[in-house]
Chain A
Amino acid sequence: MITQTLYDGSYQWIVMGRDPDKPEKIIDTNQYMVIDGDRTLLIDPGGMEIFSAVLAATLSVSKLEHITDIFASHQDPDIISSLGLWHEMLPDINLHASNLWEGFLRHFSSGDVNYVPIPDKGGSIRLETTELQYIPAHYLHSSANFNIYDPKARILMSGDIGAALEAPGSPMYVDDFDSHKEKMQFFHKRWMPSNEAKKDWIRRVRDLDIDIMAPQHGRLFKGDDVKRFLDWFEDLDVGIAIHGS
């Protein structure tokens, strides 16, 4: 698994992904971590199958006992089905996720994981020195769904928003937005259910100062490509399956 530093200040943002050993039939995912002193937050740590790769990547930069928190943007297996293994290894770990998903996500662990519910309106998480914001992104695609925004590092971890299905070994960042659109189109049209939710999210995200938009699949958006993405997404008609795809 490849790791790359996205932000290196008094704390660090790191992306882990492009796992060359990933079983073929499993969708490729980006995992993120924020290392802030003795506290490491894992963001969407991924499925069971990639647990050992993510663990090795995490421990190449953080100590085991420093991994204190996990954030799950939503309930999908590619996001968090590794929970049972993390929890067995680190019984005191805190799982931060929507209050709506609590009874569901507990199915991924032995049930007694320390669950920190996030209310619909969002909130924030304080690590050792920095504070990250939970940005509501409900219905994009999951009915209870959050992004993480770091105003200091100017990073928006956008979950499945901005996701693209890429060939293995593709670069970390979008380098040609126009050709990238194609790789995102079907996913967003089919998986995102609501134009109204989409519009509302775009309106709120336009107010944020963002250098990097970091989705859970595919390449990351940097600089002007963030705005290009928002414009493209705004014009896209989503929820197409009701017309029979």
Chain B
Amino acid sequence: MSVDQKNMEASARQFLAVASVQAELFAVKQISKRISLSAKNAKAIAARAGSQAMGFHPITDFIDDVAINITQLVEKINAEALKLSSFAIANRNRSKTIEEMKVSSRNMVKYADHNGMKKRIEELEKKKKQFMVDYKRKNGDLLELLAEIRNQLQAAEMICTTSRTEATRAGDFQSNLEVVADEVSLAVNNIKETLQSSKYHLSQLSLR
């Protein structure tokens, strides 16, 4: 990236981080759609395989559930990250206001109480402190949501292993079902990688 992130203002870095997380989560959503498609595919194959692939039905339902859960979590994270970002914008405006008020205070030392400015600056700074507390909490909530996705992925991985065992009992359809299991585990790995970078970006949202 040609943007010089090191010298970027903290708030600009945050906005960039939110945008990056959103792009990544969009990719995760696409992948989870693929998982859900694979699950449907497996279901169709299992149906054709008849009694040989009986064990596959609950597995495909489960994979489908995982895909749905991931999609919902992604949407939730997206919404929360966006809220956090506009929250940060409001705080940036507040910081800027405080900063500018202090500049004008310095220019008017001759007025005893700066005509009411001191009090207002104190109030705004209090608000800012509260903001920091709220922001930290919200950021923590976001990371928790990410961890929840990881739980879902772990479950999906276990299911892939079970699928492979079940596939061996599916006779002629064994290789077809194995392909499905491979697709799912590839998708799971893709999501894992993407989430790694989302986790990094979300950590950029924490205020230092």
Contacts and interface: CB of A to CB of B under 8 A. Distances in A.
Interface of A: 51-53, 55-56, 59-60, 62-65, 84-85, 88-89, 110
- Chain B interface size band reads 10 to 19
Contacts of B90: 110
Contacts of B120: 64, 89
B93 A59 contact: no
B124 interface: yes
B97 interface: yes
Nearest to B96: A85
Nearest to A110: B90
A60 B103 contact: no
24 contacts: A51-B100, A52-B101, A53-B104, A53-B107, A55-B100, A56-B105, A56-B107, A59-B108, A59-B114, A59-B115, A59-B117, A60-B108, A60-B111, A62-B115, A63-B116, A64-B117, A65-B116, A84-B93, A85-B96, A85-B97, A88-B124, A89-B101, A89-B120, A110-B90
Contacts of B96: 85, 88
Of listed B93, B105, B107, B108, residue having the most chain A CB within 10 A: B107
B94 interface: yes
A56 B108 contact: yes
A64 B115 contact: yes
Given A51-B100, A55-B101, A56-B108, A89 B115 contact: no
A50 to B, nearest CB: 10
A199 B104 CA distance: 42
Contacts of B93: 84-85, 88, 110
DSSP majority for the A interface?
helix
Contacts of B124: 88-89
Nearest to A60: B108
B111 to A, nearest CB: 7
Nearest to A54: B104
Contacts of A63: 115-116
A212 B115 CA distance: 29
Instruction: State the 8 A-B residue pairs at the shortest beta-carbon distance, nearest first.
Output: A64-B116, A56-B104, A52-B103, A88-B97, A52-B100, A52-B104, A55-B104, A59-B115
Nearest to A21: B107
Nearest to A55: B104
A113 to B, nearest CB: 12
Of listed B100, B107, B116, residue having the most chain A CB within 10 A: B100
Contacts of A56: 103-105, 107-108
